[in-house]
Chain A
């Protein structure tokens, strides 16, 4: 009986101590900038702390799903923004955010270090923070063991020797899936991409809902050891698949890449705009950019930032990735997804 009472008291104590409902934010609102971002955002705490020490600004990070969900959350709340700055709207969705007037113009002094190479609008409402290339990845061991030559281009993927070997993500539910679809539109044009996908379908392409399933379940080159040696992933993925011998076991096909640029901007209507601008400067600074590859698996947008050693060997930046103009993507995105779904019978 006494034991039970003890447990009960312990539980009650744990309840009250652990209660986040009872606690409240002690952050001083004036020195806090709320940065709304997507689920893939990651930054070392010590870098954020250092920024806080230098400027007195605390960055309060709020995540809102993937790039699409983030953009939509920003559009829905533009009358009363949920934050002061946003990071993670990518080139696929940037046109939607710009058309809806989500961002305020701001040209960062850091932007002349390269990020403006990827500018999307003349008013500089968005600054490029990083870029990632979605490319077809292959399991090199699989091909070596069977003596089958490795594929290299989109055209190779529809050849009979690569039948039933490719897995792609659904563009309606996955951002690399959408990038790959846009890559095929860029390569074959608005008239012919459906013909290419018909060939892919006839060659036994498999579709997965998201990157996790495709990469860690279907792909043979990941630790999941799936059945298929060709997958749509990122140019940087092979850096994570380096074996004990120091050699990468997978490879990105650099002729099949589609570039996505991720942007940050000050939210229109933020009462904290001047401090939000400081956060944009921070995201473009050398200090933050150098953390980008290992934390978010993307390439820094700033020029002259050193890549980790494993990246130079396994994940070089593709020299000539494809991309489509933002307006073209904005005009076609939903229609192409719809056509893709009916084409693949899904």
Chain B
């Protein structure tokens, strides 16, 4: 094997090893149990299974469409507009992303009783506008405006120039974001459970029900197979869309491309403002809820954050839970970045490698790395229980499991944020640098790092925020001595009594605050670094 080949293999070992041990093996073991019991094929031929699959795909497609339509004006605002307040918007759009699903479910039901399936679609979109807005803005801000300017100079209208020049260039980021959002929505659990009552069910809620409550592993395995197949199909479609659209782009700093909007662009800004208003409604409702009691306004919920709740509902105070969240999210992000960035570099290398085999391997790996988003958290959680005892040191009851499981959720997001940018780097830049005498390390430092750093930091920030808000796997794995904020909120809201309730909503406000602070720090670092090249 050549040296480059060896390097690639070494690079591949990290993400693949992680994925095999902490994903493929546990999930495979649970599916195998289902097959051992038999009857998987029978479950696959039931009409009910296909009704569930249809509703799952339909609601996820609806949510994805809404998130993309709502996210694009926001992306434009973040990427191209120099107006006061844009930095605030950048932070604000991420807040919905971390809110615990049970709380958002309650907020949506308070705002819109009996919303039915529409409220599921809207709530899923609510969570994911940030994914579209920030992922697309990440690439958009770096696009060279000169091609668009040239089109304008040749007489194209602003809209025409956008459609024929900018939009195709943005397409990889849009399809990437849409794929992630689709996966998030197809597997969203808490929202569907709460807003769908018992009436609207998806594959995910049904897998949860059959695994966790009924111990019907056969049925759960059958539904998991359908879900995995649907996810793979979505991923392959997304990959096909990306393949046709992708090309190396000229990338520029946002400082050069952002400016005051003109003409019809104000309408787009207006659209973004409407979206922000809609995103803020449930957030404001939660804040109002945190300070209102039967007898008027009160800060009792906030004061209670330094306690363990009414009658000691929690084992630690609200503040300690916040610290736990910061700590586990840090671990998860570090893990996910190591794995996600090495996977992105590997995928690009495989894509550029000569020969169809390498490219085929690259594409299968790309899909495989996204699969964790498409598999139910309960399946993974129960999978850990029956496999990880084979590893030294019983990981099954270890506090390490929480960051490991969170990293699994974050890795696909890191890859989808970093990969489009790594791919867009024109290889000729590297060749030019090499021709001018730079060694590979220097090429990497002078070309790759400056151009991708913003995306890498954005991915880290994004991942951090996802890990902060992750609830499904965390609630299954977190230890009571070290609950994260979302887990603490869920415990508080599961007890009667006004004070517990208020404290839960105050903890939500704290979670929003922590998120905003984390995002501000990360954005500051990112914009500072990128401005230097």
Contact = CB atoms under 8 A, between A and B. Distances in A.
Interface of A: 4, 7-8, 11, 14-15, 18-21, 25, 34, 39-45, 60-66, 68-69, 71-73, 75-77, 80, 82-83, 96, 170, 172-173, 207-213, 215-217, 222-224, 227, 233-234, 237, 240-241, 243-244, 294-295, 297, 334, 337, 341, 344-346
Interface string B159-191: 000000000000000000000000000000000
Contacts of A21: 331, 334-335, 400, 403
A66 B208 CA distance: 12
16 contacts: A11-B521, A15-B330, A19-B327, A63-B479, A71-B215, A72-B211, A73-B382, A73-B385, A77-B386, A82-B385, A216-B106, A217-B110, A234-B496, A297-B496, A344-B198, A346-B197
A217 B493 CA distance: 11
B475 A39 contact: yes
B312 A217 contact: no
Interface in B278-336: 293-295, 310-315, 326-328, 330-331, 334-335
A251 to B, nearest CB: 13
B123 interface: no
B19 to A, nearest CB: 18
A223 B479 contact: no
B136 interface: no
Contacts of B214: 172, 334, 337
Contacts of B500: 240
A337 B498 CA distance: 32
Which of A11, A39, A61 has the most chain B CB atoms closer than 10 A to its own CB? A39
A240 B495 contact: yes
Interface stretch (B345-353, B367-375, B391-399): B391-399
A61 B209 contact: no
A82 B214 CA distance: 20
Nearest to A40: B494
Nearest to B382: A76
Contact of A241 (B386, B496, B525): B496
Contact of B215 (A8, A41, A43, A75): A75
Nearest to A221: B496
A344 B528 CA distance: 58
Contacts of A208: 194, 197
B106 A41 contact: no
B330 A18 contact: yes
Pick the 7 closest A-B CB pairs, nearest first.
A240-B497, A240-B496, A346-B198, A170-B198, A223-B498, A294-B311, A18-B327
Contacts of B102: 212
B194 A42 contact: no
B524 interface: yes
Nearest to A334: B214
Which of A7, A62, A334 has the most chain B CB atoms closer than 10 A to its own CB? A62
A159 B200 CA distance: 28
Given A82-B385, A223-B293, A213 B105 contact: yes
Nearest to A63: B480
Nearest to A222: B496
A173 B397 CA distance: 25
A207 B310 CA distance: 28
Contacts of A337: 214
B193 to A, nearest CB: 5
B240 to A, nearest CB: 37
B386 A76 contact: yes
Contacts of A19: 327, 330-331, 334
Contacts of B310: 240
Contacts of A294: 311-312
B475 A65 contact: yes
A227 B109 CA distance: 12
B196 interface: yes
Contacts of B479: 60-63
Given A7-B525, A173-B209, A72 B197 contact: no
Contacts of A63: 478-480
B334 A15 contact: yes
A82 B525 contact: no
A224 B197 contact: no
A80 B397 CA distance: 12
A283 B396 CA distance: 24
Contact of A34 (B193, B397, B495, B497): B397
Contacts of B495: 240, 297
B399 A20 contact: yes
B481 interface: yes
Contacts of A216: 106, 493, 501
Contact of B476 (A65, A76, A207): A65
A39 B198 contact: no
B91 interface: no
B199 interface: yes
A39 B310 CA distance: 16
A322 B102 CA distance: 31
B45 interface: no
B312 A295 contact: yes
Contacts of A65: 212, 475-476
Nearest to B30: A76
Given A18-B326, A20-B331, A223-B502, A346 B396 contact: no
Given A61-B479, A96-B215, A42 B397 contact: no
Nearest to B331: A21
Contacts of A334: 214, 216
B107 to A, nearest CB: 10
Nearest to B329: A18
Interface string B500-528: 11100000000000000000010011001
